[in-house]
């Protein structure tokens, strides 16, 4: 029997796919989101259009992936969750996670990154990363100190917001707090004031959005600063664990910390603020959180954070490249093929998930969301995020501290349509969110303020 060919998308579908997904993603910033274009994309509802388009593609071309042109490349787009799982279970071999655009862009600010590494080098760097981040542990051995940092920095944020911000909190202040907290956790307390190291990294990431072919002029200044912190290895910080973690010259230990810096200070900051907005606009879930905060553990609040990431994934697309010919659905996918996973679609799959478009933390605490292969905000499989537990620990602790300090916190101003009574929107622009204390003892108590 002749091998079955995988289908190819029509010209109309290809044009729409590029218009609705590829171009907006690039314009909003592949490595550092640009607030202006993110606001425009949110207003235009582009993420919702993308999900509808993906539903149409699946109806027309599944089962199996479909060939589609992305700019000048012919890539394979996963439509079924089985193909998503297969791709991620096979990463980084045969599905390498460094297709050309990612290599060019990320290579600009972290040329030694684990996620750009292949084969033995990936294994070497992954071993080191997992040892320092203590990936399999639910609670990191340095968690006690990290949580002290969280409490100090969050309390500071709330008191500055009360004194200078008129009792309101926005993404700018929130993000600055996350940057400080991140520097202390990753590099040590002596980096608390070093705004410049964060700023250098942010500038490098902005440059990377343009997929530059020339090395950056500021990269040497950034690495010099980073190396000095690694060298100093302040006790209690992540870099203090480098010496005891398995590594050699190829590991490029200091080069691994860049990913941790931006993942904590940018990615987690965005996700945690969205989670706060969801909790603040959903009274029933909020009541569960409030009860939970009377105790020490906060699994439901951690689930709220997971939900924010499911609903609004900060990694909207996962891309891979085949390192060898791969047998797939009775055909051979040639070496060098790019494979694409659209997280935003699989996370909101109405055909599979009863709770696709609502805020459902109980799906994590009581249901099987934790093992759902469609959810890949942390990716999954051998190359899944090694900082997942650390991110959940820190993010949940920040949220808990805010909700304790501002028990009646409400979303003030734009809430981008967050409500338990209607399907949730597909985007939630962090820069547009603003919170008001209305407390303690205030009358806010959940819901969207009318201010
Ligand atoms: C909410 C926060 C975070 C989210 C949503 C997140 C998400 C992800 C995703 C989706 C990937 C896979 C990317 C791909 O394959 O293209 C990834 C990989 C990675 N993450 Fe995270 N991450 C977060 C926090 C962290 C933190 C806090 C750290 C470290 C301290 C970290 C370190 C890494 C590293 C090193 C990789 C590369 C893994 C590899 O290639 O083997 N992440 N993360």
The SS3 of residue 159 is: helix
**Beta-strand (E) ranges in 29-183?**
66-70, 73-77, 95-96, 168-170
Nearest CA residue ID for atom 36, ligand 1: 385
| Residue 395 near residue 271 (C-beta atoms within 8 A) | yes
Tokens at residue 197, please? 């190291």
CA of residue 384 to ligand 1 center, whole Å:
7
Q: What is the pLDDT along the chain (451 residues), one digit of tens a residue?
A: 445 689 999 999 999 999 988 877 777 777 777 777 777 777 788 888 999 999 999 999 999 999 999 988 999 999 999 999 999 999 999 999 887 777 877 888 889 999 999 999 999 999 999 999 999 999 999 999 999 999 999 999 999 998 876 788 999 999 999 999 999 999 999 999 999 999 999 999 988 888 878 888 999 999 999 999 999 999 999 999 999 999 999 999 999 999 999 999 999 999 999 999 999 999 999 999 999 999 989 999 999 999 999 999 999 999 999 999 999 999 999 999 999 999 999 999 999 999 999 999 999 999 999 999 999 999 999 999 999 999 999 999 999 999 999 988 888 766 668 999 999 999 999 998 999 987 443 333 333 332 2
| Residue 381 near residue 375 (C-beta atoms within 8 A) | no
Could you tell me the CA-to-CA distances from 55 to 306, 337, 350 in Å, in that order?
A: 23, 23, 9
Domain assignments of the chain as residue spans, ordered by start: 11-436
Question: Residues 6 or more apart from 59 whose CB is under 8 A from it?
Answer: none
In angstroms, the CA 436 to CA 449 distance is 8
Residue 332 host element (H or E): strand 331-333
Phi, psi of 341 (to 5 degrees): -125, 125
In angstroms, the CA 407 to CA 439 distance is 6
CATH class of 11-436: mainly alpha
CA of residue 414 to ligand 1 center, whole Å:
29
Whole-number pLDDT of residue 344:
95
Question: Residues 6 or more apart from 320 whose CB is under 8 A from it?
Answer: 87, 91, 95, 96, 97, 99, 338, 339, 340, 341
| Residue 154 near residue 177 (C-beta atoms within 8 A) | yes
Provide residues with CB under 6 Å of ligand 1: 97, 114-115, 126, 129, 133, 259-260, 263-264, 267-268, 271, 309, 314-315, 318, 377-379, 383, 385-387, 390-391
Whole-number pLDDT of residue 102:
77
């Amino acid at each position: 029997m002749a091998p079955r060919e995988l289908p190819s998308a029509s010209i109309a579908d290809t044009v729409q796919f590029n218009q609705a997904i590829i171009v907006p993603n690039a314009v909003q910033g592949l490595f550092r989101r640009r607030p202006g274009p993110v606001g425009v994309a949110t207003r235009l509802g582009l993420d919702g259009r993308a999900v509808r388009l993906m539903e149409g593609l699946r109806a027309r071309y599944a089962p199996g992936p479909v060939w589609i042109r992305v700019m000048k490349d012919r890539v394979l787009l996963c439509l079924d969750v089985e193909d998503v799982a297969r791709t991620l279970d096979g990463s980084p071999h045969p599905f390498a996670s460094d297709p050309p655009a990612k290599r060019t862009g990320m290579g600009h600010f972290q040329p030694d990154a684990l996620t750009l590494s292949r084969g033995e080098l990936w294994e070497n760097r992954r071993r080191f990363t997992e040892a320092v981040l203590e990936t399999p542990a639910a609670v990191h051995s340095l968690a006690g100190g990290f949580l002290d940092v969280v409490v100090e920095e969050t309390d500071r944020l709330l008191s500055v917001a009360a004194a200078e911000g008129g009792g309101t909190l926005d993404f700018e202040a929130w993000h600055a707090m996350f940057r400080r907290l991140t520097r202390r956790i990753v590099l040590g307390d002596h980096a608390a004031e070093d705004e410049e190291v964060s700023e250098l990294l942010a500038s490098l990431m902005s440059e990377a959005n343009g997929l530059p072919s020339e090395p950056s002029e500021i990269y040497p200044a950034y690495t010099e600063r980073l190396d000095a912190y690694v060298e100093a290895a302040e006790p209690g910080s992540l870099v203090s664990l480098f010496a005891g973690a398995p590594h050699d010259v190829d590991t490029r230990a200091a080069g691994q910390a860049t990913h941790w810096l931006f993942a904590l200070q940018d990615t987690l900051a965005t996700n945690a603020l969205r989670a706060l907005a969801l909790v603040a606009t959903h009274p029933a879930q909020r009541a569960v959180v409030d009860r939970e905060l009377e105790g020490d553990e906060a699994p439901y609040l951690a689930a709220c954070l997971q939900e924010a990431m499911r609903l609004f994934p900060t990694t909207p697309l996962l891309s891979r490249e085949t390192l060898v010919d791969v047998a797939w659905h009775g055909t051979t996918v040639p070496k060098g093929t790019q494979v694409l996973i659209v997280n935003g679609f699989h996370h909101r799959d109405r055909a599979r998930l009863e709770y696709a478009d609502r805020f459902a933390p109980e799906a994590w605490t009581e249901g099987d969301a934790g093992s759902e292969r469609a959810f890949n905000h942390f990716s999954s499989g051998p190359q899944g995020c090694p900082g997942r537990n650390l991110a959940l620990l820190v993010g949940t602790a920040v949220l808990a501290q805010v909700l304790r300090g501002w028990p009646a916190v409400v979303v003030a101003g734009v809430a981008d349509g967050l409500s338990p009574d209607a399907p949730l929107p597909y985007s939630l622009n962090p820069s547009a969110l603003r919170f008001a204390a209305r407390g303690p003892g205030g009358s806010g108590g959940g819901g969207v303020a009318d201010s």
